[in-house]
Chain A
Amino acid sequence: AQSVTQPDIHITVSEGASLELRCNYSYGATPYLFWYVQSPGQGLQLLLKYFSGDTLVQGIKGFEAEFKRSQSSFNLRKPSVHWSDAAEYFCAVAGRDDKIIFGKGTRLHILP
């Protein structure tokens, strides 16, 4: 069965600084990988997804993520964060059965 670990519960960065959120997954074959963002009181919005091909994936709002098979990782990055990026970020993994399993999330705080 697939699983996801997000090691950081909270991350604080200054506005304008770069960001990297960590995600490690467990799955026996090539996974489908996702990053979602959740603003307070809202549902989840897809930022980006990886299915196959280029291991560097571009998403919305200036985010990107890199799939590293050797490290079972799919870290999310942004070169310069904005105050509006403050939210909770979820990494997720799915297999060929389309069963999407989420990590416990990382809450991002932005310092002005």
Chain B
Amino acid sequence: DARVTQTPRHKVTEMGQEVTMRCQPILGHNTVFWYRQTMMQGLELLAYFRNRAPLDDSGMPKDRFSAEMPDATLATLKIQPSEPRDSAVYFCASGFMLGGQGGNTEAFFGQGTRLTVV
């Protein structure tokens, strides 16, 4: 049963600490998204990648957030230093997409990482 796997599922950390969230996309998928979900803002797109290269990270606060894909099976989202306002659920999603050709645009979501910064 192919699925997107996110670790950890829950993270509590103190303000100022570094946080790393990991995502294993579905094997064969070439596009990976990071979203942040809060009550106030809903689902915000932070960044997305195709074939491990960033396509758009304009939704991400650049001073403290970074997203990478060290290889095709791992995507990471780091926050350094973390702040209480970063408390949210972070979702990773993946899909096999062809840049708008062939109607393949469809994202499969992981179960999220719930981050609490105290």
Q: Which residue numbers of A lie inside 8 Å of B, CB to CB?
A: 32, 34, 36, 41-46, 49, 51-52, 90, 94-105
Nearest-CB residue, chain A, relative to B109: A43
Nearest-CB residue, chain A, relative to B3: A43
Of B12-20, B70-78, B100-108, the stretch lying at the interface with chain A is B100-108
Q: Beyond the given A94-B105, A102-B43, could you list 8 further A-B residue pairs with CB under 8 A, ordered by the A residue number?
A: A36-B109, A43-B91, A43-B112, A44-B91, A49-B105, A100-B105, A104-B42, A105-B42
User: Which A residues are in CB contact (< 8 Å) with B111?
Assistant: 41-43
Q: Chain B interface: which size bin?
A: 20 to 34
Residue-wise, chain B 75-116 has the 8 Å CB interface mask toward A (1 for contact) of 000000000000000010101010111010111111110000
B6 to nearest A CB, angstroms? Answer: 8
> Is B106 in contact with A46, judged by CB distance below 8 angstroms?
yes
Nearest-CB residue, chain B, relative to A44: B109
14 CB-based A-B contacts, threshold 8 Å: A32-B105, A41-B111, A43-B93, A43-B111, A43-B112, A44-B93, A44-B109, A96-B99, A96-B100, A97-B55, A98-B31, A102-B42, A102-B43, A103-B42
